[in-house]
Structure 1
Amino acid sequence: MIKSGVLLGAGAGACWGLVFLIPLVLSGFSPLEIASGRFLVYGSVSLLLLLPFLPRMARGLGIRDIGFLLALGASGNVLFYVFLASSIQKVGVAPAALVIGLVPVLVTILGRNDQGTVPLPQLVLPLAMLVVGMVCITVDTLQVAGSTANTLLDAILGLLFAAGALVSWSFYAVFNARALKANTVVSSQQWAYLTGMASGFWALVLALVIWGFQSPSTAGSTAGGETLDWQMFWLVSLGIGLVGSVLANGLWNGASRRLPMTLTAQVFAFEPLFALIYGFVFEARLPRPLEMAAVLLLISAMLWTVQKHSVAGKRERQQKQALTSPAS
């Protein structure tokens, strides 16, 4: 169960890591435009895939469930990606990815009382390693801002945007996992599609606000007057909507159903790890010393926590076996 959950989480992380490159590939577009394009695709595809099952599921979903899905779509998808894209366009992939790597800290704290979790005191050291990694990347980002064309203000704003993404996704991860474990009406994949439809609703609202108030003379160009490549925009949005949303969220929901909350938090670290790999390849450079230190701390903390959960799970199974074994 744990092994399959970790593998599903790794697959989701590999898909999600790609979304970190999109703000650089579509650098002429604003974070709001990029987020609306991605989630319009996700919402549309989710609706098409879910159409055959909607009548049956509608009977099992109440107003509270719909409101909950809308909240998840806003926090964990649209708002998260607006913050993330803003951060990446300010400071690049590596700093944003490593700040997002702190998701395990927040999720572990928020979900510490959920069933199957390892007691928080046992996770103090790996969580402390993640915090030290965060300090490393903050120092590195501010140092780079002082030695390049990037301003110190851009660096600070970029880190603040990344912190906003961190908070929004942490709340999403906790409440989404709880909902999946409590809901027996829909499958993990169907829940991903329902979340996609909710995200598509917010993306449509966002698109109407963005493009509805633009004049025809400025709708196809950047602030500097450069012509925008809308064909590239929609091709990239289609690709990332399918891979980074439909596929990734389905894999993640499968992992969330199989893993205890504190381990789900650590498995999320696959996303920033893959994002870092993709980012360094895209920028054609090796990590700087403080970036490398942060990466090593992130990997070590994740492996340490997985090991703790494996030991705890084995001990729990042995205790259950002892209780159910017939007395001799």
Structure 2
Amino acid sequence: MLTGILFALAACLVWGSTYVAPLILSDYSPVLITLVRYTVFGAVCVAFVASQLRRALRTSARDRLLAVALGIVGNLIYFWLITEAVVRVGGAVAGAFTSMIPVVCTITANLTARRPLPWKPLALPLVMILGGLVVFNAEEFARLEGHAFFASGADFALGVAAALGSVAIWTWFPLSNSRWLREHPGFPGSLWLAMQGAALLPVSLAGLAFLPEASGLLGRINATFIFWIFVMAIGCSWVGNALWNAASRRMPAVLIGQMLVFETLAAVLYASLWQGETVTLTAAVGLAAELLGIALTVRLCSAQEPPSEAPKEGPNDGAAKKVGETPCQTSSGCV
């Protein structure tokens, strides 16, 4: 489980840059940034899938359809919504709204589990994480309270709606992705990621073809644009998602949802650094509460594990579960 936590932490630290890039590339529209990013990412994924096409085709039509949905909704639409939120309400504010994802994801994971963890011991970690998120983002929430857009700003309202839409998507995405990976232990996580990304290429290219702004893009490209597009396409989309897939196979879904706390923390910290702000004592207290809540959940999941060694990954997808497995070991018990 410790290895999974480290993978998830690394993924979230990489993903945090997603909230800063649109601020740096403010001369370009959110839609253009999204489409160019996923055109690059999609091209890399198509090449990877082509190199392992036979293995990819061994999956069922239902699996391939899920990969397409995860790729388009969990990446393209999610990033577009995040980018819209960042541009319209700011990176730190967008991060504050999406900070509810870890708690919503954890509750959803336990509600949909066949063998859920008991709510009573899980309640304290959830309260600590939620309270920590509120305290960590206290200044951002205060900024929202006095924001004039609350009264008359349609642009601000659209930004908030985009942030809330991203919450819904990233409650569904990690749970569905984690379930599939744990039910197919013999399938390479990198190929599963590439199958998702490959679906993005035709959609992104079609979007660029119909986007008026894209017609003059070549004359506007500079080194900064190219650098951040590759940071997002290769760093965030490929490396970040590969790390997340590795974590998803090593952790229960109830805990994997809470790991998203670190994406929120990274987003707010990166945005604050970009804006020349420092981390306040209030934010530090909130961070401590969140980390303690996650530690309590790790302890709860560890207590559910039997002392015997966890079953090894086998070549057969959907292998039978062994006697003695707990909700924190099987996808059906944690998703």
> TM-score, normalised to structure 1's length?
0.82
Q: What letter is aligned with 1:264?
A: I
Alignment partner of 1:161 is 2:162 = yes
Of the three residues 33, 37, 59, the one matched with 1:61 is 59
1:84 aligns with 82
CA 1:288–1:207 in structure 2 vs 1: closer, same or farther (change >3 Å)?
farther
1-structure distance, mates of 2:202, 2:296: 40
Moved more, 68-77 or 176-185: 176-185
Rounded to whole Å, the distance in 2 between the matches of 1:10 and 1:215 is: 35
Q: Say which SS state the counterpart of residue 248 (structure 2) adopts.
A: helix
Deviation at 1:247, TM superposition (A): 0.7
Q: How many angstroms does 1:124 deviate by?
A: 1.7
Tell me which residue corresponds to 1:74.
72
Find the counterpart in structure 2 of residue 46 from structure 1.
Answer: 45
Decide which structure has greater helix share: 1
Indicate conservation of the 8 Å contact 1:57/1:185, yes or no.
no
Offset of residue 57 of structure 1: 2.1
Report if the CA contact (8 A) 2:96-2:141 is conserved: no
Range moving further from structure 2, 177-186 or 34-43? 177-186
Structure 1 contact 136–293 (Cα < 8 Å) conserved: yes
Give the C-alpha shift of residue 304 in structure 1.
Answer: 2.6
Query: Counterparts of 1:288-299 in structure 2 under 5 Å?
Result: 294-299=286-291
Match of 2:331 in 1: none
1:200 maps to what in 2?
A: 201
2:272 maps to a residue whose letter is: F
Tell me whether 1:7 sits opposite 2:6 in the alignment. yes
Assess if the C-alpha contact under 8 Å between 1:101 and 1:130 holds in 2: no
Across the aligned residues of Structure 1 and Structure 2, the Cα RMSD in angstroms comes to 3.0
TM-score between both structures, scaled by the size of structure 2: 0.80
Q: Secondary structure at the match of 2:43?
A: helix
- Identity rate, percent: 24
SS in 2 for 1:162: helix
Q: Which residue of 1 aligns with 2:246?
A: 254
In the TM superposition, residue 191 of structure 1 has moved relative to its aligned partner by 0.9
Tell me the residue number matched to 1:30: 29
Partner amino acid for 1:56? R
Question: In the alignment, which residue of structure 2 is the partner of 1:303?
Answer: 295
Match of 2:267 in 1: 275
1:158 offset after TM fit, Å?
Answer: 2.9
- Secondary structure in 1 aligned to 2:307? helix
Shift of 1:171: 0.4
In the TM superposition, what whole-angstrom CA distance separates every residue of 1:157-176 from its partner, at most 9, and x where no partner exists?
43332111111111011111
Is residue 109–residue 120 contact of structure 1 (8 Å, CA) maintained in 2? no
- Taking the aligned partners of 1:291 and 1:128, their CA distance within structure 2 comes to 17
Question: Structure 1 residues 142 and 256 mapped into 2: Cα distance closer, same or farther (>3 Å)?
Answer: closer
Equivalents in 2 of 1:261, 1:103: separation in Å? 13
Q: Does 1:317 align with 2:307?
A: yes
Structure 1 distance, partners of 2:132, 2:73, is 25
- Please say if residues 13 and 270 of structure 1, whose CA atoms lie closer than 8 Å, have aligned partners that are also in contact: yes
Alignment partners' CA distance in 2, 1:146 and 1:100:
17
| CA distance in 1: counterparts of 2:116 and 2:255, whole angstroms | 7
Amino acid of the residue matched to residue 179 of structure 2? Answer: R
Which residue of the partner structure matches residue 332 of structure 2? none
Match of 2:233 among 229, 235, 241: 241
Structure 1 regions of 5+ residues with no counterpart?
A: 222-226
Deviations 1:6-51 (A, max 9, x none): 1111111111111111110111112111111111111111122332
Preserved contact between residue 114 and residue 261 of structure 1 (Cα < 8 Å): no
Distance in 2 separating the partners of 1:142 and 1:14: 23
Residues 100 and 167, structure 2, Cα contact 8 Å, conserved in 1: yes
- The equivalent of 1:224 in structure 2 is none
Contact 2:129 2:291 in 1 (8 A): no
Distance 1:295 1:98 in 2: 13
CA shift for structure 1 position 73:
1.1
Going from structure 1 to structure 2, the CA distance change for 1:31 and 1:259 (only over 3 Å counts) comes to: same
In the alignment, the residues of structure 1 paired with residue 37 and residue 173 of structure 2 have an alpha-carbon distance, to the nearest angstrom, of 18
Q: C-alpha deviations, 1:236-268, integer Å up to 9, x for none? A: 212221110111111100100111110111122
